[in-house]
Structure 1
Amino acid sequence: MTASALTLGIVLLHVLGMFAAMHAVMHTRTPQGAIGWALGLLVLPYVTLLPYLYLGSSRFLGYRVAHRPPPRSTSAAADTTDTTAIDAGCTRFAAISALQRRPFRSGHKLRLLIDGEAAFEVMLAAMAAAEHCLLVQFFIIHDDALGRRLQQILLERAAAGVHVCVLFDGIGSHALPRRYVDTLRAGGVAIHRFATHRWRNRLQLNFRNHRKIVVVDGARAFIGGLNVGDEYLGLKPPLAPWRDTQLELQGPAVADLQQLFADDWQWITGDLPPLLPSPPCDGHASALVVASGPADPQETGSLFFAAAINEARQRVWLSTPYYVPDNAVRAALQLAVLRGVDVRVLIPARPDHRTVFLASTLHAYHAVRAGIRVFRYQPGFLHQKALLIDRDSAAIGSMNLDSRSFRLNFEVAALAVDPVFAADVATMLTEDFRHARAVDEREYRDAPYLRRVAMHVARLFDPLL
């Protein structure tokens, strides 16, 4: 390469870096992020241009064009469904209902499924009993013993004439071999990879579909933190035993989960899956499906947590594998402490992602200094996503307490207002806290200096964690 060609290449990279820096200033979510990207793109475009191409976007484009939400009604509870029987406690979460553009619905049966073995026994049995339609969506599907159990059930149901539709995330399931998918397709299962396949999103690695949804015949639904892999059964050390929770729902909110799956399915295939009416249920819990994602006009995940925490008056108990709160959620937790609320956060003692663990450790230190009680779960890796508010409200779903779940991933949870269900969640978390160690300031202060530096460096990547 001649000197003139090299000079031309360097100049071209700096010109491209200048245009990319302008794009970053216009579109990056936070001023800090805009400054970081702009400086890097202007000074070192040969290093930062490619990462910005893959990681720079903060919005998933095109998804909402085909899935416009219904116009917001004047009442957060307005809907064709009779909502007169919803729990009175739902009214304090009116902002979350308005954010979701859907009302709380009454008449649900809810059941906690604790840890993988119990949860998958129930979920796989429900799938095997499907008679008309089976909708299955996971972030991760592995071709291991559990993955092959799922595969066999899907093939059997398709052979029996059941409409079987399966979604998996292209990044989360990057290791899923093509033969696994081909076998299902050959057996009549409609299976697709959720990917950013439209040209404006094609190069983006930030956006992932982290939802876990199973809907059986429009009547039963399952959401939570479990993916399909042997590690979720606690069979892969050093993270075993794996601590997780799934939620089974029956009642009108199943239709909302079914529609949520349909939105993702239509984005990928252009068609709708079979949609069945949800039969009546004689349960008593009121529930709201909370969906969030990078296509939302607002940062729905962060707003959900902040709004729910701000309504707490007695207790906020949180369980999350990744404790990397943004400013809004951090402020909500600190304000809850100042109100005299019992605020507890349960996080892992073992890391599955080193960078996230380092950042989380620094956030835990600041939380403890602010009066938030933080605990590390000891027996194994904690992957559970649970939120308990006071004595009547709880949420279970796929949402972690980090920026990725707040604004980069497609997520789902169910917020239930029901004293009986909240008591079940409280019992579960009480047992978890019994197997946890309280974090104090010494965890950070006694760490070697270079490890503390690494924590602060890791925190610089909070927007991507």
Structure 2
Amino acid sequence: MIASLIALAALALHCAGALAAMHAVMHTRTAQGAFAWVLGLVLLPYFTLVPYLFLGSSHFGGYVDLHRQRQARFFTLHAEEERAARPGVAPHPPPVHDPRYAAIGRMLKTAMQPGNHLSLHIDGAAAFEAMFAAMARAEHYVLVQFFIIHDDGLGRRLRDALLDCRQRGVQVCLLYDSIGSHALPDAYVDALRAGGVQVHPFATRRFRNRLQLNFRNHRKVVVVDGERGFVGGLNAGDEYLGLKPPLAPWRDTHMQIEGPAVADVQRAFAEDWYWVTGERPPSLPPPERCGRASTMIVATGPADRQESCSLFFTQAIHAAQKRVWITSPYFVPDQAVFGALRLAVFRGVDVRILIPSRPDHRTVFMASTLYAHEATLAGIRMFRYQPGFVHQKVMLIDHDTAMVGSMNLDNRSFRLNFEISALNVDDMFAAEVETMLKDDFAQSDEVNPNDYRRLPYLKRVALHVARLFDPVL
């Protein structure tokens, strides 16, 4: 009797695994990911069926409909409304056409906005001081979004700054990721709500997405009065100030935008806010012109028709004629991005990539190590940052283009996470980023192809096994 029940249970699991395998074939975005899931679900459903329920989907049901209607229905203000909302504001100048990045704009239905003033904030202390100072000057509203918020020193400073805004009559909207901020206690959120802050977790929420651990909102956004916008790699926690060994000191980069591009930062936040609340957050148009930089806000995610984050990196790398310098905590590129990097080398482009020397996620670190070795064989110069953990997401192209944002070089950013970055064309800002990265490279060790060969055989096998998990890293 017991044997029969066990046999029936095994048969049921294999049937469920076969059904899940068919779902994986139809819906997994890459052939490699589909093959890996099908193999596991058909042969070992006892071990892979439950993980597939949480990690298998690669399309964000429901949000996609909102995403594709945003311009027409929710977030486009007519010029008359803009002038009424902020009297004396002239219409914005037309977008800049830069043929190097025009395909990115067409893909994401966005544009490169002229007339922005940009500020580079190196590491957490400088970035958060600038954000808190902007919040202290807020008159109308503050929009805040982080992947991770901790109830620690920095997290409580953020809480107090938002509550202070509310006490002055400033409207505050706070959005955090429900998985990234899973440790955030209810008391923290309750205190904000009691003080009048509108605060919500970003969650999949719809039934078909309910079990998914994918589709994390990895964006880090602050907008103040429609005049100042912040994007970058920092979350709200003490480790991002370098206060938590063993990863300290923490190396990260954020940036501040003032000018027309702030409207596009705000629009990305509004999209996420509407998904969660069904309401549009407050908005005001930004000033017409604050500087000389042209900025395109690149907001990507699993709701896009295309694999927009991967295609963004691919096109940006193809645009390079002299150099491509990239820094990312994770180097697990897909074939399109890796191919673009290798082709850039053959065009004579100076390709350098800065990655950590310490792991925060062991499996990703091991896969990155193997990719770093293969990159050096293709002529890509790989560097490991020595003082601490490097978490910044920065790209420098030629003499005039610099990107700062939340995008990593891994499958999660390419296909599963909601991300946001600012692609900036400005000689002076690019020169600042160049100076910053030169200092980072000076504190790094260059990866040698022989480093891999010196590893014990079983260690090399482990690196190759880690790379098998590319689809979920």
TM-score, normalised via structure 1 length? 0.96
The residue aligned with 2:398 is 390
Paired with 1:35 and 1:112, the residues of 2 have a C-alpha distance of 43
The residue aligned with 1:35 is 35
**Change over 3 Å in CA distance of 1:71–1:122 after alignment to 2:** closer
**Which of 364, 378, 381 is 1:373 aligned to?**
381
The residue aligned with 2:458 is 450
1:57 aligns with 2:57: yes
The residue aligned with 2:6 is 6
1:82 aligns with 2:105: no
Over the matched positions of the two proteins, sequence identity in percent amounts to: 63
1:318–1:386: 8 Å Cα contact kept in structure 2? yes
1:355 aligns with 2:363: yes
Paired with 2:128 and 2:450, the residues of 1 have a C-alpha distance of 39
Aligned residue type for 2:377: R
1:70–1:101: 8 Å Cα contact kept in structure 2? no
Worse-superposed segment, 374-383 or 16-25 = 16-25
Paired with 1:329 and 1:444, the residues of 2 have a C-alpha distance of 22
TM alignment of 1:315-334, pairs within 5 A: 315-334=323-342
Give the match's secondary structure for 1:146: helix
1:205 aligns with 2:213: yes
Paired with 2:358 and 2:18, the residues of 1 have a C-alpha distance of 42
> Alpha-carbon deviation of 1:188?
0.3
The residue aligned with 1:118 is 126
1:220 aligns with 2:228: yes
2:328–2:391: 8 Å Cα contact kept in structure 1? yes
The residue aligned with 1:24 is 24
Give the match's secondary structure for 1:209: coil
Worse-superposed segment, 233-242 or 445-454 = 445-454
- What do the CA deviations read for 1:398-419 (whole angstroms, capped 9, x no partner)? 0011111111100000001111
The residue aligned with 2:178 is 170
Paired with 1:133 and 1:346, the residues of 2 have a C-alpha distance of 37
TM alignment of 1:248-287, pairs within 5 A: 248-287=256-295
Paired with 1:358 and 1:7, the residues of 2 have a C-alpha distance of 39
Give the alignment's Cα RMSD to 1 decimal. Answer: 1.5
**Which of 128, 131, 147 is 1:139 aligned to?**
147
The residue aligned with 1:299 is 307
Paired with 1:435 and 1:198, the residues of 2 have a C-alpha distance of 46
The residue aligned with 2:84 is none
1:109–1:284: 8 Å Cα contact kept in structure 2? yes
Give the match's secondary structure for 1:19: helix
Give the match's secondary structure for 1:231: helix
Worse-superposed segment, 447-456 or 189-198 = 447-456
> Alpha-carbon deviation of 1:71?
8.1
Paired with 2:360 and 2:56, the residues of 1 have a C-alpha distance of 25
**Which of 410, 423, 431 is 1:423 aligned to?**
431
- What do the CA deviations read for 1:287-346 (whole angstroms, capped 9, x no partner)? 100011011111111000000000100000001110111100000000000000000001
Paired with 1:255 and 1:45, the residues of 2 have a C-alpha distance of 47
Give the aligned length.
456
The residue aligned with 1:76 is none
The residue aligned with 1:435 is 443
Paired with 2:328 and 2:66, the residues of 1 have a C-alpha distance of 33
Paired with 1:59 and 1:67, the residues of 2 have a C-alpha distance of 13
Paired with 2:186 and 2:427, the residues of 1 have a C-alpha distance of 46
- What do the CA deviations read for 1:383-427 (whole angstroms, capped 9, x no partner)? 011000000111000001111111110000000111111111111
Aligned residue type for 2:174: V
Give the match's secondary structure for 1:50: helix
**Which of 343, 348, 353 is 1:345 aligned to?**
353
What are structure 2's unaligned runs of at least 5 residues?
Answer: 73-78, 80-90
Worse-superposed segment, 300-309 or 446-455 = 446-455
2:258–2:290: 8 Å Cα contact kept in structure 1? no
- What do the CA deviations read for 1:40-71 (whole angstroms, capped 9, x no partner)? 21222222111111111111111021232578
Paired with 1:67 and 1:374, the residues of 2 have a C-alpha distance of 37
